[in-house]
């Protein structure tokens, strides 16, 4: 890990002005998650257990990969935060001829609220900042170059063909408006639908999409009088796209400035996004939740009535366009027979420096440079089934499927499947998610505890507490300060009337 290329370290550092996200698996299936479930199922705010919810903020920090496992004495977070050296003896490299990925991400959810307008209609307003660094579809030889540079002697004098990788780094701020309503409420069948429209501001974006590369690690001599040798990367063929935002636009970026850009026209990037979803509930014993007041039948809106719940959502449709003649650069690389010295990247500190090194090493000065590109949102399909085992006990099955192509210039949601048993009450909730993430390749165990409006959890406690040989770590926490439950209908007050005392009859004379 201490041998990661400076380019990798630089793009990872772009995320540090926030914190760093998975999907809050322990919380997102809860009937008391409020705004947090809305981000994966916009229909959830209809027929909510709360008629009003005020959410303060939460953060979700995640880093994961499927190439290098870690089993050192210090936690992963401490290694990253304090920039500690890691001995190769503490790493387990997975070589299975499958594409590799690395993700570091942050999801900061800011002040938001949800209100039920009526029994059928609900609305919400939400704010959010997300950042992500993603290396995706990385061939094993490229992954080894990123991990160890050219120090792996086993790679020398071998030709590696048909290598691919995609790197995307993005930070977006957004404000969203959600509307949801009950579509069907008939006997045991209940259906609701919802949609979110998001104004998205691009705070930062960079990408390097390598569609095909053939290379060889060779040995070169330092100029005389030195007798030392070094390893060099000989690129025989390379077809790629490279785009980034200049350092000038990055100066002074903060959360408040990012949120201020949402309504401004001078933001680096501007775009729109949308979520749409449906939820079906099977309620075989719905009559048991009925009660009678003043001769009329009502339903107890404080209780979950389903035996099982099925939700389907299409998330993060859309993208962000970056366009600026002085600060946005995008160009195509078609390089052949180029020698690249990876040491040339060591002194690069910002995107412009990296662009200059790439141009120099690959001879890219002659290519036309564009001043705009579009970066897509992490479009994904979300499915979940929630089954009530007994009163207050549930088990949830969740699937997130990435819908962005391997060459897409876009943020990505890592595909995963999870099974989450939970104990759920209004005041206390405990969940234990079991997941296979990193595009269905890495197993993780998590835990979540919610007490009232406060929650804390992790989708990967092994990485958080340095258990086993983790391939990443995750932590999240948040706070809602006001959740007004839906109330029962109370009997009408009847005014008491004093009985009339009959008059004493008058006796006749």
Helix (H, G, I), strand (E, B) or coil at 247: helix
Contacting residues for 508 by C-beta, under 8 A, at least 6 apart: none
pLDDT in tens, 264-282: 666 788 999 999 999 999 9
What does pTM read for this prediction? 0.85
pLDDT in tens, 434-476: 999 988 988 999 999 999 999 999 998 887 777 777 888 889 9
User: CB–CB of 458/475 below 8 Å?
Assistant: yes
Nearest to 235 by CA among 100, 366, 362, 407: 362
User: CB–CB of 392/424 below 8 Å?
Assistant: yes
Q: Give the tokens for residue 229.
A: 């040798």
Determine the pLDDT at residue 1: 35
Q: What is the pLDDT along the chain (509 residues), one digit of tens a residue?
A: 334 443 343 334 333 333 334 589 999 999 999 889 999 999 999 999 889 999 999 999 888 888 888 777 776 767 766 666 777 777 788 888 889 998 888 899 999 999 999 999 999 999 999 988 899 999 999 888 877 777 778 888 888 999 999 999 998 989 999 999 999 999 999 999 999 999 999 888 999 999 999 998 888 777 767 666 777 888 999 998 889 888 666 665 565 665 566 666 667 889 999 999 999 999 999 888 888 888 888 788 888 999 999 999 999 999 999 988 878 888 888 888 888 877 777 777 777 777 788 888 887 665 667 889 999 999 999 999 999 999 899 999 999 999 999 899 999 988 999 999 999 999 999 999 999 998 898 899 999 999 999 999 999 888 777 777 788 888 999 998 877 777 666 666 555 555 555 666 655 55
Backbone angles phi, psi at 45, to 5 degrees: -75, -15
Determine the pLDDT at residue 411: 92
Radius of gyration, alpha carbons of the chain: 28
Nearest to 17 by CA among 304, 253, 321: 253
What gap in Å lies between CA 75 and CA 87, rounded to an integer? 14
Helix (H, G, I), strand (E, B) or coil at 331: strand
User: CB–CB of 135/67 below 8 Å?
Assistant: no
What gap in Å lies between CA 101 and CA 435, rounded to an integer? 17
Phi-psi region of 157 (alpha: psi -120 to 50; beta: other; left: phi over 0): left
Nearest to 116 by CA among 248, 387, 301: 301
Contacting residues for 462 by C-beta, under 8 A, at least 6 apart: 444, 445, 468, 470
Nearest to 444 by CA among 41, 66, 78: 66
Helix (H, G, I), strand (E, B) or coil at 88: helix
How is 237-278 classified by DSSP, letter by letter? EEEEEEEEE-HHHHTT--HHHHHHGGG-SSSSEEEEEEEEEE
User: CB–CB of 321/271 below 8 Å?
Assistant: yes
Nearest to 51 by CA among 119, 110, 126, 127: 119
Contacting residues for 326 by C-beta, under 8 A, at least 6 apart: 246, 248, 371
Determine the pLDDT at residue 80: 67
Helix ranges, 121-180 (H) = 140-148
Nearest to 143 by CA among 244, 241, 4: 4
Cα 26 to chain centroid, rounded:
14
CB-count burial class (<10 Å; 0-12, 13-18, 19+) for 225: exposed
In sequence order, what are the beta bridge partners of 59?
A: 108, 477
Q: Strand 100-109 relative to strand 121-138: parallel, antiparallel, unpaired?
A: antiparallel
Task: Please report, for residues 32, 148, 197, 475, the alpha-carbon distance to residue 17 in angstroms, rounded to integers and kept in the order given.
Answer: 30, 27, 26, 17
């Amino acid at each position: 890990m201490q041998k990661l290329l400076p380019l990798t370290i630089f793009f990872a550092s772009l995320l540090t002005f926030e914190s760093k996200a998975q999907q809050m698996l322990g919380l997102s299936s809860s009937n008391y998650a409020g705004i947090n479930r809305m981000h994966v199922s916009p229909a959830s705010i209809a027929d909510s257990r709360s008629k009003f919810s005020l959410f303060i903020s939460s953060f979700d920090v995640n880093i994961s990969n499927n190439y290098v496992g870690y089993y050192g004495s210090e936690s992963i977070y401490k290694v990253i935060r304090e920039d500690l050296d890691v001995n190769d003896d503490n790493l387990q490299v997975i070589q299975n001829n499958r594409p590799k990925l690395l993700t570091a991400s942050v999801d900061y959810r800011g002040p938001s609220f949800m209100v039920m307008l009526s029994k059928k209609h609900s609305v919400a307003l939400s704010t959010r900042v997300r950042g992500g660094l993603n290396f995706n579809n990385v061939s094993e030889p490229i992954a080894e170059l990123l991990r160890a540079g050219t120090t792996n002697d086993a790679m020398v004098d071998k030709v590696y063909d048909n290598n691919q990788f995609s790197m995307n780094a993005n930070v977006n701020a957004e404000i969203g408006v959600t509307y949801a309503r009950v579509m069907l409420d008939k006997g045991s069948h209940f259906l609701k639908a919802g949609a979110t429209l998001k104004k998205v501001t691009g705070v930062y974006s960079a990408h390097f999409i390598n569609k095909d590369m053939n290379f060889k690690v060779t040995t070169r001599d330092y100029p005389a009088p030195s007798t030392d040798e070094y390893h060099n990367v000989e690129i025989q063929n390379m077809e790629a796209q490279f785009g980034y935002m200049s350092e000038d636009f990055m100066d002074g970026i903060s959360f408040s400035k990012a949120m201020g850009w949402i309504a401004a026209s001078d933001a680096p990037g501007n775009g729109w996004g949308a979520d749409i979803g449906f939820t079906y509930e099977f309620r075989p014993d719905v009559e048991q939740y009925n009660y009678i007041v003043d001769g009329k039948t009502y339903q107890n809106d404080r209780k979950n009535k389903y035996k099982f719940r099925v939700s389907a959502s299409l998330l993060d449709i859309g993208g962000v366009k970056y366009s600026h003649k002085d600060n946005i650069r995008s160009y195509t690389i078609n390089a052949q027979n180029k020698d690249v010295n990876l040491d040339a990247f060591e002194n690069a500190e910002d995107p412009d420096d990296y662009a200059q090194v790439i141009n120099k090493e690959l001879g890219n000065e002659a290519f036309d440079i564009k001043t705009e590109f579009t970066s897509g949102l992490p479009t994904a399909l979300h499915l979940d089934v929630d089954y009530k085992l007994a009163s207050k006990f549930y088990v949830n099955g969740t699937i997130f499927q990435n819908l962005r192509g391997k060459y897409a210039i876009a943020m990505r949601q890592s595909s995963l499947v999870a099974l989450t048993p939970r104990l759920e009450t209004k005041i206390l909730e405990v969940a234990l998610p079991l997941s296979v993430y990193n595009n269905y390749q890495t197993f993780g165990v998590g835990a979540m505890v919610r007490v009232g409006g406060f929650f804390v959890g992790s989708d990967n406690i092994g990485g958080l507490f340095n258990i086993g040989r983790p391939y990443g770590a995750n932590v999240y926490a948040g706070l809602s300060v006001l959740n007004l439950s839906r109330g029962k209908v109370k009997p009408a007050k009847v005014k008491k009337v004093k009985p009339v005392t009959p008059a004493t009859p008058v006796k006749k004379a």
